[in-house]
Amino acid sequence: MSQQTSPDQPAGQQLRGPLQARSQDVPGIIDLANRVFRPAPRPGDMGREFPALLSPSNAENLLIFRDGERLVSHVGILRQKMHTCGLALPAACIGSVCTDPDYRGMGMAGRLMDEAIRLATEAGDLIMPISGDRRLYASRAAVGIGPQVRLNVTPEAAAAAAVEGYEVRVCEPADWPVLVELSRGDAIRYEWTDRDRISFERFLELGGICLLANRAGRPAAAMLVCINHPTYGPNTSTDQGRVMQFLGEPRAAGTLAGCAISGRRLAGLEWRVLATAWPTVVGDLLAAGATGKAEVTGWTVRILNLEGLIEQVAPLAGRAGVELAAEGASLRVAVGDRCFVVDRP
């Protein structure tokens, strides 16, 4: 077994990687992630907050560098199915990309990303959503997802957007099947599994709340809200909540927002809404008096297999009168007598 780097031994003398982690490596990965993403005095624990990604059961998808026995760099992959327009696209989500501050500038994160891209492509994943918009990702052909609108929903705006006929209650862990069913109505969604149920339960344990709106005795919509939740960092003020997820009927958004505000006696809610996914929600809340600011999301995405993605999407696009084709290093898009060619990054 390699020895721990000593104080007299320069960092990087026993570097090994990229390596697939073992289950016994996960506590060390979590410790590294906490030192990078949750430095004192910020509270939080990455392992508790992201139990699906940083878990022994997902160890084979965690890529690392070691210096001796010390874990010094990490890239995590969480395999998902992204559903949209009746398609189920295999995706390799990237998260918790971090390097020990003493080892930065040595190219390890880049080599781990390249290995993650190689493994995901070989596994048949078509797209790679990435949590972050760093140069590390842009240099590997990742582009931004967006746009999104950062809404500030005041109590008055929520009240003006509220719709009668909904009965609202607090969700419990046992309501998980209800949330899964509501999620299936989203235009773009990940397939929720038991590991997502564990993440939901952890969200509640760490102080998050989930409200469920019933209409005519049936579940209609749900909203997940947090206040200074460790996963998402401190809010602008301690009496400002954040909407983390919304499911179901768009017209229920104002009612659920109002119940969250009144139930926790909040000054308002901050809500970063992907405008392309929830245009009705954004429009209704802005019309009711909420304020909004357009911004770029913190997510990027890399296409791993353009030909494979086109094969999946082309029949759907064809029914809408759009022709897609890969031409060498470019994507050809034809609509009627108009044609566009987009070069790959």
Q: How many CB atoms neighbour CB 302 within 10 A?
A: 21
CA atoms within 13 A on the CB side of 67: 17
Q: Which of 61-65, 259-263, 278-282 shows the lowest mean pLDDT across its residues?
A: 278-282
User: Of the segments 12-21, 97-106, 232-241, which one has the largest average pLDDT value?
Assistant: 97-106
Whether 241 has a pLDDT exceeding 70, the answer reads yes
| 35-38, long-range: CB < 8 A, 24+ apart | 35/100, 35/101, 36/98, 36/99, 36/100, 36/101, 37/96, 37/98, 38/230
- 3 state SS of 142: coil
Q: Which of 245-249, 289-293, 312-316 shows the lowest mean pLDDT across its residues?
A: 312-316
Whether 10 has a pLDDT exceeding 70, the answer reads no
Whether 1 has a pLDDT exceeding 50, the answer reads no
DSSP secondary structure letter of residue 262: H
Residue 62 identity (one-letter amino acid): L
Place 8 in a pLDDT band, splitting at 50, 70 and 90: very low
Share of the chain above pLDDT 90, in %: 63
Q: Give the pLDDT of residue 233.
A: 55
Cis peptide before 147 (omega within 30 of 0): yes
pLDDT in tens, 186-224: 888 899 999 999 999 998 988 889 999 999 999 999 999
Whether 5 has a pLDDT exceeding 50, the answer reads no
pTM of the full structure:
0.87
Place 73 in a pLDDT band, splitting at 50, 70 and 90: very high
Q: Give the pLDDT of residue 7.
A: 43
> How far, in Å, CA of 18 to CA of 268, rounded?
45
275 or 255: which leads in pLDDT: 255
Q: Give the pLDDT of residue 15.
A: 92
Q: What is the DSSP string of 43-103?
A: ---HHHH-TTTSSGGGGGGEEEEEETTEEEEEEEEEEEEEEETTEEEEEEEEEEEEE-GGG
**Ramachandran bin of 343, using left for φ above 0, alpha for ψ from -120 to 50, beta for the remaining angles:** beta
Q: Facing residues of 215 across strands?
A: 166, 218
Give me the mean pLDDT over the 162-174 stretch: 95
Closest Cα partner for 89 from 79, 98, 99? 79
Contact 211, 168 (CB under 8 A): yes
328 or 148: which leads in pLDDT: 148
324 or 198: which leads in pLDDT: 198
- 3 state SS of 180: helix
DSSP secondary structure letter of residue 2: P
Helix (H) or strand (E) holding 105: none
Whether 51 has a pLDDT exceeding 70, the answer reads yes
pLDDT in tens, 216-239: 999 999 999 988 766 655 544 568
Question: Virtual CA dihedral for 168, 169, 170, 172, nearest 10 degrees?
Answer: -120
Residue 78 identity (one-letter amino acid): L
- 3 state SS of 322: strand
Residue 328 identity (one-letter amino acid): G
Q: Give the pLDDT of residue 6.
A: 41
Report residue 197 CA to chain centroid gap. Answer: 15
Average pLDDT, the chain: 89
- CA dihedral sign, ordered 130, 92, 124, 23: positive
